[in-house]
Amino acid sequence: MSADGPRLDGKVAVITGAGRGQGAAEARLFVQAGACVVITDVRAEEGRAVAAELGDAAVFVRHDVTEAAGWETVTRTAVASFGRLDVLVNNAALWRTAPVDTETEESFALLLRVNLLGPFLGIKAVVPELRTAGGGSIVNISSTAGLKGLPGHAAYGASKFGLRGLTRSAAVDLAGDRIRVNSVHPGVIDTPMVAGALGPERGERDHPRVPLRRIGRPDEVAELVRYLASDASAYITGAEFAVDGGLTT
Ligand code: NAD
């Protein structure tokens, strides 16, 4: 993680699903860059541990992104703890795969709820506070599965393509309020989400399908998210950024 790079001094961010993986890496980098963060997750133990590690600049709220009422608690906590809200990172998600013909209605509906409805509820919840702050940045974590068709990704891919579409439409709706909305599309990143699929060798292994020949690290996604949260990206909205080692080129 680089100590240099865009600063986030005075900014307050909500990062969903930040108890582990990329969200936790983003919380750490944001605080290092001068921000205060509200960490949310359904994994209370992990979320509390990340917040404790970050001290006074972080608080944890146990929250399921599909719960609209809980979103009010999240935004209220941000303002009560740190006085304002500037940034939302819609990071929380579930990953499951199955060929389209054997995918179940239950699993398809669940992935759409968590990966697409959740970010939508988050956007609705934070917009009033972002307006009060005079503008802000919303970063939606999609996937390379939101850029191209992948085997077994009917449900997850539909949710991540949907999040990409939500990003573009929200960017247009909110531009007048100086609220920017962009999507990030990670490739294969070494986190607990995909650990089972990658096996024990993970990052060490040569990954011939990836032009950069390796899988990515959570902090490499966090660097991009920090940039999009910061004023360094002030003229960027409705845009899509792959961080995938060249996988989708
Ligand atoms: P992860 O599983 O390590 O972390 C995701 C976090 O989200 C977990 O802590 C989990 O408890 C939380 N979460 C799940 N459902 C939730 C809910 N309903 N409410 C609140 N929190 C919930 O995964 P990660 O790799 O860090 O994923 C971060 C983001 O990156 C996700 O949007 C994921 O889809 C995306 N992504 C990951 C990869 C990858 O290879 N790891 C690739 C492309 C995109």
From the CB of residue 192, how many other CB atoms can be counted at a distance below 10 Å? 11
Q: What percent of the chain has pLDDT over 90?
A: 94
Ligand 1 mutation pick, 15, 61, 65, 95, max ligand atoms within 8 A of CB: 95
Question: What three-state secondary structure class fits 184?
Answer: strand
Only one residue has tokens 């819609």, namely: 90
Tell me: pLDDT of 42 over 90: yes
First-last CA distance in the chain: 25
The highest-level CATH class for domain 12-243 is alpha beta
Interval 131-147 mean pLDDT: 98
pLDDT in tens, 144-174: 999 999 999 999 999 999 999 999 999 999 9
User: E strands along 72-148, which residues?
Assistant: 87-90, 136-141
Q: What is the pLDDT of residue 67?
A: 98
* Residue 156: active-site member: yes
| pLDDT band, very low/low/confident/very high, at 17 (cuts 50, 70, 90) | very high
162 CA distance to ligand 1 middle (Å): 16
Only one residue has tokens 């990062």, namely: 15
Interval 191-212 mean pLDDT: 84
Q: What is the pLDDT of residue 206?
A: 84
Structural contact between residues 85 and 136, judged by C-beta atoms closer than 8 angstroms = yes
Nearest Cα residue to 182 out of 141, 231, 121: 141
Structural contact between residues 126 and 87, judged by C-beta atoms closer than 8 angstroms = no
Q: What is the pLDDT of residue 205?
A: 76
pLDDT in tens, 174-197: 999 999 999 999 999 999 999 988
From the CB of residue 52, how many other CB atoms can be counted at a distance below 10 Å? 10
92 CA distance to ligand 1 middle (Å): 5
Q: What is the pLDDT of residue 226?
A: 98
Instruction: Return the structure tokens found at 34.
Output: 């001068």
Q: What is the pLDDT of residue 198?
A: 83
Tell me: pLDDT of 203 over 90: no
Tell me: pLDDT of 223 over 90: yes
pLDDT in tens, 47-106: 999 999 999 999 999 999 999 999 999 999 999 999 999 999 999 999 999 999 999 999
Interval 230-243 mean pLDDT: 98
Closest ligand 1 atom, CA of 43?
Answer: 11
Catalytic residue among 30, 71, 108, 156: 156
Q: Which whole-number Å values give the CA distances from 77 to 37, 38, 129, 161, 249, in the listed order?
A: 10, 8, 12, 31, 41
In angstroms, rounded to a whole number, what is the distance separating the alpha carbons of residues 181 and 135? 11
CB burial readout 97-136, b (16+ within 10 A) else e: beeeeebeeebbebbbbbbbbbbbbbbebbbebbeebebb
Q: Which helix (H) or strand (E) holds 183?
A: strand 179-186
